[in-house]
Amino acid sequence: MRVIICENYEEMSKQAAKLVISQVTLKPESILGLATGSTPIGMYDKLIEANKAGEVDFSKVTTFNLDEYYPLSADNDQSYHYFMNEHLFSKTNIPFERTHVPDGEAANPEKECEEYDKKIEAAGGIDLQILGIGQNGHIGFNEPDKNLIAGTHLTELTDSTIEANSRFFEKKEDVPTKALTMGIASILKSKKIIIMANGAAKHEVVSALMTPDITTDIPATMLKIHSDVVVICDKEAFYGKQN
Ligand code: F6R
C-alpha cells in the first residue's frame, strides 16, 4: 500500500484526479470504478475542469459505481444515480450509456447483483477503482461483519452508516436501510485501487490501514491483500486533528 499525504482536501482531490487522468490518458478505453459520498466530489470537480479544458477525454471510458441505496429510484435526489449525474456524468463527455450504477429499483435484487458482476467481467474488469471509506471501515457498503461477501449483493446498512449518511437526508428515518453494493472480491479484482480519506473523523480508520492487521471488523483492511493500492488522504485523516 502506498500512501500520499496531502496538505488538505483540495490537494487530495488534485492528486487523485491526476491519477485518474493518467489512467485514462494511458488507456482511453479504461473501465473506471466510481464512488459517491462527500470525499470524491472535489476530485470529480477537477476531472470536469480537465475534461472541459481538453486535458482528458472520457469518450471511450466505461464506469461502474460501487453501490446504490435499495429501494430507491434513480430520479430520487438522494440516489447515487442522481449524485453521479449531478457531480460527474452530465458535466463530462463520459458516454451516459457506458455508465453503470446498480439498479435501486430492481424487482429481483439478487439477479441484478449477479448481472452487475457479469457486466463488469464482460467489460474486461475494472482498471482503476476509486474508493472512499466509512468511519466504521466500510468500503462500498461492505459493512463490518464476521463474514464479508465476495460478489455484488444486497446488504443491510449498519446504524452508524445510517447515522453518518443522514447528513444528506432531511431526517435519519429517510435514509434507506439497505443497499446494493459491489462485494469485497468485486473490489479486489480491480487492477488498481485508490482509496481516499479526509478529515479527522477518518483518522482512526486510516490508522487501521497502516497496521499489518486484516480484519473483517474493518472491511477496508482487506485491501492489504491487493498489490496496487494507493491511499490518498489529507493530514487530518493521517495524523488526526491538527491545531
Ligand atoms: C459511496 C461508498 C461509501 C463511501 C463512504 C464514505 O459510494 O461506497 O463507502 O465512500 O461511506 O463516505 P463519505 O465520502 O461521504 O465520507
Looking at the CA of residue 35, tell me the nearest atom of ligand 1. 7
List C-alpha distances in Å: 214 to 29, 136, 191, 228: 33, 14, 20, 16
The stretch 5-28 carries a mean pLDDT of 98
Burial of residue 147 (number of CB atoms within 10 Å: 0-12, 13-18, 19+): exposed
Pairing of strands 62-65, 31-34: parallel
- DSSP, res 35: -
So what's the pLDDT on residue 242? 76
Cα 134 to averaged position of ligand 1 atoms, centre (Å): 6
Q: In what order do the strands lie in the sheet with 229-234?
A: 2-6, 229-234, 192-197, 128-131, 31-34, 62-65, 99-100
Question: Is 138 a pocket residue for ligand 1 (Cβ < 6 Å)?
Answer: yes
Alpha carbons 35 and 134: distance in angstroms, whole number: 12
Looking at the CA of residue 139, tell me the nearest atom of ligand 1. 9
Radius of gyration of the chain (CA): 17
pLDDT interval class at 61 (50, 70, 90): very high
Is residue 235 over pLDDT 90? yes
Q: For the chain, give every domain's residue range.
A: 2-177+189-232
CATH of domain 2-177+189-232: 3.40.50.1360
Cα 242 to averaged position of ligand 1 atoms, centre (Å): 23
Residue 136 annotated as catalytic: yes
* Active-site position among 67, 112, 127, 236: 67
Ligand 1 pocket: which of 79, 83, 141 to mutate (most atoms within 8 A of CB): 141
The stretch 188-211 carries a mean pLDDT of 98
Pairing of strands 128-131, 62-65: unpaired
